[in-house]
Structure 1
Amino acid sequence: MYIGIICEFDPLHSGHARLLSHARAMGADAVICAMSGNFTQRGSFAALDKLARAEMAVRCGADLVVELPTVWAMSPAETFARGGVQLLALTGVDTLLFGSECGELSALRRLADCLDSPAFADCLTAADSGATFAVRRQRAAAALLGDADAALLESPNNTLAVEYLRALRRTGASMTPATLLRTGAAHDGAPEGGTASASYLRQLLRQGQGEAVCGFTPPEAADILRRELSRGRVTDSALCERAVLSRLRVMTEEDWRGYDPGGEGLYHRLYQAARSACTVDGLLSAAKTKRYPLARLRRMALAAYLQLPPAPAQVPYIRVLAATAAGRAHLRRLRDAGAPVLTKPADVSSLGADAAALFALEGRCTDLYVLARPDLTQSAPGQDYRTTPVMV
Structure 2
Amino acid sequence: MRTAGMIVEYNPLHSGHLYLLAQTRRLLGPDTAIVCAMSGNFVQRGDFALLRKHQRARAAVESGADLVLELPLPWAVSSAETFADGGVQVLSASGVVTDLAFGSECGAAEPLMELAACLLSPEYPDALRRRLDSGRSYAACRQEAVSALLGPEKAVLLETANNILGVEYCKALLRRRSSIRPLTVRRTGSVHDGALEPGAHPSASAIRALLRDGETERALSLLPPAMAKVYREEAAAGRAPVFAETCQRALLARLRTMTESDFAALDQGREGLCRRLWEASRSAVSVAEILSAAKTKRYAYARLRRMVLWAYLGLTPADVPAAVPYLRPLAANDTGRRLLSAMRREASVPILTKPADVRTLGPEARRLLALEARATDLYTLAYPALSAAQGGGEWREGPVILGGPPPC
Moved more, 27-36 or 242-251: 27-36
* Contact 1:132 1:292 survives alignment (8 Å): yes
What's the C-alpha RMSD, in Å, of the aligned pairs?
1.3
2:329 corresponds in structure 1 to: 320
Moved more, 207-216 or 248-257: 207-216
Aligned with 1:97 (options 101, 111, 118): 101
1:111 corresponds in structure 2 to: 115
Matches within 5 A, 1:35-184: 35-92=38-95, 93-129=97-133, 130-184=135-189
- Once residues 208 and 165 of structure 2 are traced to their aligned partners in structure 1, the CA distance between those partners, rounded to angstroms, is 21
1:276 corresponds in structure 2 to: 283
* Contact 1:64 1:322 survives alignment (8 Å): yes
| Matched letter for residue 395 of structure 2 | Y
What displacement does 1:337 show? 4.0
Task: Tell me the SS of whatever aligns to 1:139.
Answer: helix
* Contact 1:77 1:160 survives alignment (8 Å): yes
Matched, 1:251 2:258: yes
Aligned with 1:357 (options 363, 367, 373): 367
Task: Tell me the SS of whatever aligns to 1:342.
Answer: coil
What displacement does 1:215 show? 1.8
Change (3 A) 1:117 1:262: farther
Task: Tell me the SS of whatever aligns to 2:101.
Answer: strand
| Matched letter for residue 19 of structure 2 | R
Matched, 1:14 2:23: no
- Once residues 238 and 344 of structure 2 are traced to their aligned partners in structure 1, the CA distance between those partners, rounded to angstroms, is 36
- Once residues 272 and 178 of structure 1 are traced to their aligned partners in structure 2, the CA distance between those partners, rounded to angstroms, is 45
- Once residues 194 and 179 of structure 1 are traced to their aligned partners in structure 2, the CA distance between those partners, rounded to angstroms, is 19
Matched, 1:335 2:344: yes
Matched, 1:290 2:297: yes
Instruction: List, as ranges, runs of 4+ consecutive aligned residues in structure 1 with deviation greater than 4 Å.
Output: none
What displacement does 1:128 show? 4.5
What displacement does 1:261 show? 4.4
Matched, 1:190 2:195: yes
Matched, 1:306 2:313: yes
* Contact 1:3 1:30 survives alignment (8 Å): yes
Aligned length: 392
* Contact 1:102 1:152 survives alignment (8 Å): yes
Cα deviation 1:83-106 (Å, max 9, x = unaligned): 000001111211111110111212
Aligned with 2:206 (options 192, 200, 208): 200
Cα deviation 1:104-140 (Å, max 9, x = unaligned): 2121122111111122212111115211111110111
Task: Tell me the SS of whatever aligns to 2:376.
Answer: helix
Cα deviation 1:124-158 (Å, max 9, x = unaligned): 11115211111110111111222222121111111
Task: Tell me the SS of whatever aligns to 1:4.
Answer: strand
- Once residues 195 and 299 of structure 2 are traced to their aligned partners in structure 1, the CA distance between those partners, rounded to angstroms, is 25
* Contact 2:54 2:399 survives alignment (8 Å): yes
Matched, 1:264 2:264: no
What displacement does 1:231 show? 1.9
Which segments of 5 or more consecutive residues in structure 2 lack a partner in the other structure?
A: 403-408
- Once residues 189 and 262 of structure 1 are traced to their aligned partners in structure 2, the CA distance between those partners, rounded to angstroms, is 34
Q: Compute the TM-score of the two structures, normalised by the length of structure 2.
A: 0.93
| Matched letter for residue 282 of structure 1 | E
| Matched letter for residue 272 of structure 1 | E
Task: Tell me the SS of whatever aligns to 2:37.
Answer: strand
What displacement does 1:377 show? 2.0
Q: Compute the TM-score of the two structures, normalised by the length of structure 1.
A: 0.97
What displacement does 1:24 show? 2.4
